[in-house]
Amino acid sequence: MQLKKQLLLMKEIIITSKITVFETIQELPLAEQNLMLKAVEVRKNAYAPYSKFRVGAALLLDNGEIIVGSNQENAAYPSGLCAERVAIFYAGAIYPEATILKMAITAASDNNNNKTTTPVPPCGACRQSIAEYEIRQDTPIEIYYMGETGSIHQSASLKNLLPFMFEKKLL
């Protein structure tokens, strides 16, 4: 009887996310192509001697500025920083009043002979950092991500990638 009562009280939450897929960079609108190409270019500046995994990120701000970042590793692993956080923290430091409109991310591995063709989304720590800015600015950040080549995934907001965001109102 107790189990039956518990089942009646139980609720279910169903989460759906919408991701748009572009098969090539050329399918992206021109502004997004430019942003992704900036991310591809800065990926070459990644300092990744340990993981051999290079990541580039480019942000478009509402003031027209494009901010880029690449991952920067350290022998003491937790001391390194992902490309997305390099870019987003720099934007926050230099343009604290600007709104981040879009982010492009690309990743490539130096470890394999084949190109990274699977779209690589932001890691958990980067998702949380992006969430902080998206919540603070009260405007969604459009996110485009890809591997070295291949299709590009687009999310209209970080909420599609991190539906249960940890935010200050929970503190």
**Cα(113)–Cα(102) distance, rounded to whole angstroms?**
31
**Catalytic: 84?**
yes
Is residue 105 a contact partner of residue 68, using CB atoms and an 8 Å limit?
no
Q: Which of 84, 97, 134, 148 is catalytic?
A: 84
Cα distances from 87 to residues 14, 113, 118, in angstroms, run: 33, 28, 22
Q: Judge whether 100 and 137 are in contact, CB under 8 Å.
A: yes
* Phi, psi angles (nearest 5°) of residue 6: -65, -40
> What residue spans of 44-82 are helical by DSSP H?
none
Q: How many CA atoms lie within 13 A of 23 on its CB side?
A: 0
Neighbours of 147 (CB within 10 A): 18
Which are the catalytic amino acids? Answer: 84
